[in-house]
Amino acid sequence: MVTAKAWVLKKHFEGFPKTSDFDLKMIELPNLKDGELLLESVFLSVDPYMRPYSQRDMKEGDIMIGTQVARIVESKNPAFTVGAFVVARSGWRTHFISDGKDLQHFPSNWPESLPKSLALGTVGMPGLTAYFGLLEVCKVKPGETVLVNAAAGAVGSVVGQLAKIGGCKVVGCAGSDDKVAYLKKIGFDEAFNYKTVTSLDEALRKASPDGYDCFFDNVGGEFASIAINQMKKYGRIAVCGAISQYNVSVPQKGPYMQVPMIFQELQMKGFIVTRWNNRWEEGLKALLKWVVEGKVKCHEHVTEGFENMPTAFIGMLKGENIGKAIVKV
């Protein structure tokens, strides 16, 4: 019998999550039935969506949602061999049983030397978010100017690099000088620390005096209310996330956006990356190629130890990460 460890949501979050909102449980797993396989998590993802989704989709006592790279430990399913790795959506657990239907094989051309944890970041859901958000929502064209916030993160850092590959000028902002340095290192044309500029409006204008054709918004809130006033005519805003709002206890009332929307004839479109589930193979193939060619650089913020998952999650929400935040079991 295998004993799995699992993190459950002990108490719904009020404002920023606290470690006391989580509980560590031990779960005795049964023996496998025909067609089943036993897996152990090797890397686990901590993502911003877990904060709003936990409020909407979870009840207290549920195992925290999330994805992982897992290794097959035992198999009674001929489609899965012991020792192979897969991407799963089994939540914050060290071990779990699957019938194989919810598992994603690694691409056959995944280089042995490439860290498999990238399947949780640049060559996974966040990378696909950047890929489809830019191509299908922003519909960026060469020569355009793209703005991205939370730019040093899992999604934002890929947005900027893909936009550069697409021949755009890219402006990014992030919450530390180290992150700004990282943005310049990976090719952003302009980057600034939104926490230290005296005026966000002035910083945006200085970075691109002619304004922005596309705004890939990961943050929402006051940043978006200011940035929208610097969109060019017929600009496009991809509403990817609103992390500035996930942990607020009192819903904020921002300035209203209708005036710039009308005068600049803007398009603003929200999206969830699972919309393109049937094209994930296309996106993963493109992202893997760019990573292998060195055209897209990756960075991971690794927290060691399953017992530190809550801390890793809270740290990511507070901006401690450059690149994709993951936990190494």
Ligand X SMILES: NC(=O)C1=CN([C@@H]2O[C@H](COP(=O)(O)OP(=O)(O)OC[C@H]3O[C@@H](n4cnc5c(N)ncnc54)[C@H](OP(=O)(O)O)[C@@H]3O)[C@@H](O)[C@H]2O)C=CC1
Ligand Y SMILES: CCCCC/C=C\CC(=O)/C=C/C=C/C=C/[C@@H](O)CCCC(=O)O
* Residue 319 interacting entry, from ligand Y, ligand X, none, C-beta within 5 to 8 Å by type: ligand X
Confirm if 215 and 228 have CB atoms less than 8 A apart: yes
Q: Site for ligand Y (CB under 6 A): which residue of 242, 268, 286, 327?
A: 242
Do the beta carbons of residue 139 and residue 165 sit within 8 Å?
A: no
- DSSP codes of every residue in 219-287: S-HHHHHHHGGGEEEEEEEEE---HHHHT-SS---PPP-HHHHHHTT-EEEE--GGGGGGGHHHHHHHH
- Does 65 bind ligand Y (CB under 6 A)? Our answer is yes
Can you tell me which of 17, 66, 124, 126 binds ligand X, judged by CB under 6 A?
126
Binding flag, residue 127, ligand X (CB under 6 A) = no
The SS3 assignment for 113 reads coil
Residue 233's Cα: distance from chain center in Å? Answer: 29
Q: How wide is the angle at C-alpha 9 spanned by C-alphas 21 and 273, nearest 5°?
A: 115
Contacted entry of ligand X, ligand Y, none for residue 245, CB cut-off 5 to 8 Å set by kind: ligand Y
3-state secondary structure (DSSP) of residue 186: coil
Q: Facing residues of 175 across strands?
A: none
Of 176 and 311, which has the nearer Cβ to ligand X? 176
One residue of 17, 175, 211, 310 binding ligand X per CB under 6 A: 175
Does position 221 bind ligand Y by CB under 6 A? no
* Collapsed DSSP state (helix, strand, coil) of residue 117: helix
Q: Which of 2, 23, 49, 247 binds ligand Y (CB under 6 A)?
A: 49
- Residue 155 interacts with ligand X (CB under 6 A): yes or no: yes
- Which residue, 227, 220, 274, 225, is CA-closest to 244? 220
Q: Contacts with ligand X in 49-108 (CB under 6 A)?
A: 49
Q: Is 134 one of the binding residues for ligand X (CB under 6 A)?
A: no
Among residues 125 and 183, whose Cβ is nearest to ligand Y? 125
Residue 129 sits in the site that holds ligand X (CB under 6 A): yes
- Per CB under 6 A, the segment of 35-43, 104-112, 175-183, 197-205 that binds ligand X is 175-183
Examine residue 124 and tell whether it contacts ligand X (CB under 6 A): no
Among the listed residues 6, 8, 48, 322, the single contact to ligand Y using CB under 6 A: 48
The DSSP result for 78-100, as a single string, is: TTS-TT-EEEE---SBSEEEE-S
Decide which of ligand X, ligand Y, none touches 68; Cβ closer than 5 to 8 Å per partner kind. Answer: none
Using CB under 6 A, pick the residue from 79, 82, 259, 272 that binds ligand X. 272
**Alpha-carbon span 143 to 95, nearest angstrom:** 48
Binding ligand X (rule: CB under 6 A), the pick from 91, 153, 235, 283 is 153
Beta strands in 111-211 (DSSP E): 145-148, 169-174, 190-193
The contacts of residue 269 (CB under 8 Å, 6+ apart) are 137, 236, 237, 238, 239
Among 4, 69, 138, 219, binds ligand X (CB under 6 A): 219
DSSP, collapsed to helix, strand or coil, labels residue 183 as: helix
Q: Is 243 in the site for ligand X (CB under 6 A)?
A: yes
Binding to ligand Y by CB under 6 A, coded x per residue (else -) over 114-153, reads: -----------x----------------------------
Residues that bind ligand Y (CB under 6 A): 48-49, 52, 65, 67, 89, 125, 241-242, 245-246, 272-274
* Residues contributing to the site for ligand X (CB under 6 A): 47-49, 126, 129, 150, 152-156, 174-176, 179, 218-219, 240-244, 271-273, 316-317, 319, 321, 325
